Amino acid sequence: MMLGAIVTAFLVIGVVLVGYMAFLFWTDPAKGLRETTHRIEKLPSVLADRYTAFAVLGLGMIAFGDYPIITVYFLAGSIMGLSDGAIYARAGHPHMKHTASGVLSVLAMIVSAAAWVTSSGGA
């Protein structure tokens, strides 16, 4: 039980830190870049490792995930896809790949949530 509490503490710390970074980028992108020490010229490389990380998470969902976790994974994907699509659409840029990704993630989330509700919770 002690290890579970430690894991939960790590998760809480991670959520607080990532939530703080999200808040910074939403409210003051320049401050967000300063605080996180990201560099605009390195963002393509940063995005490459972010996409790789999400692919690894997806593989983990396939191998070990259960429907509640898979549902949350697709919720995160829908937030990213729809948000990116909205950002690009408002700026007058092509956005359909991002928007479609968000819509497909919503559909996948609905299906995984239905599977969660109608099963014992295992994938």
User: pLDDT tens, 3-36?
Assistant: 999 999 999 999 999 999 999 999 999 999 999 9
Between CA 103 and CA 80 the distance in angstroms is: 10
> String of b and e for 8-18 (b: at least 16 CB within 10 Å)?
eeeeeeeeeee
- For the chain, residues with pLDDT lower than 50 are none
Q: Which helix (H) or strand (E) holds 91?
A: none
pTM above 0.85, yes or no: yes
Per DSSP, what are the bridge partners of residue 122?
Answer: 66
Q: In whole angstroms, give the CA distance from residue 47 to residue 42.
A: 9
User: With the C-alpha atoms ordered 17, 20, 26, 32, is the resulting torsion angle positive or negative?
Assistant: negative
